[in-house]
Amino acid sequence: MKDTWIKQGYIFFAEGGPFALKIERISKAINKNKSGFYHYFSDLGIFTDKLLEYHLSQAKVMAIKEAECESIDELIDVLIFHQTDLLFNRQLRIHRENPSFFKCFEKTAEITTPGIMGLWTKTLGLDRTPHLAALIMKLGLENFYLQITPETLNTEWLHGYFNEFKKLVREFKIAKGLTLPDVTV
């Protein structure tokens, strides 16, 4: 029964962030009495901590699947399957002013990113410069979590997203011979 509360809370958090976590709403969704919530968690803070733990366990499952991918199509299938996990992670990113959420977001990236770096590097044609692929991945992930929604997180959108990065790298390779001005940041 405890897992039922966690899984439903996880879905609500993925959809609307921490403000979507209402005990009465969760109890109605799973057709249980609110007292059951307090039996397992005692308060919303403890429940939220359990959701973060569950998210990290889901990230480990997703990372294993991502590491096994040999093509972008396979990776997209994994991402679609783990849509709720990605949307949960998006909410962590949006609400990163909460130190626990920020820490969980960072930990999720540490868990999932290494497994896809080989495919990412190969897809972008940056086999000789994996450090560039890693920099693009870092920027890409930040942008990814800003853009995904339940409506956009689909096969067509993901193909387009990955193709934009391939185009970006191709344009940089074409421009490689150009002298670029120094930019102070």
pLDDT at 185: 43
Per-residue confidence (pLDDT) for residue 177, from 0 to 100: 61
Angle at alpha carbon of residue 110, lines to 128 and 50, rounded to 5°: 160
Alpha helices per DSSP H over 68-178: 72-81, 83-94, 99-124, 130-147, 155-175
What is residue 172's predicted lDDT score, i.e. its pLDDT?
81
Distance of CA 105 to the CA centre of its chain: 8
Residue 180's pLDDT is what? 44
Say if CB 85 and CB 59 are below 8 A apart: yes
| DSSP H or E stretch at residue 148 | none
Rounded to the nearest 10°, the torsion over CA 103, 106, 111, 115 is 180
pTM of the model: 0.89
pLDDT recorded at residue 174: 78
Digits of tens for pLDDT over the chain (185 positions)?
Answer: 899 999 999 999 999 999 999 999 999 999 999 999 999 998 999 999 999 999 999 999 999 999 999 999 999 999 999 999 999 999 999 999 999 999 999 999 999 999 999 999 999 888 888 888 899 998 888 899 989 999 999 999 999 999 998 898 888 877 766 554 554 44
Domains and CATH numbers, the chain: 2-175 (1.10.357.10)
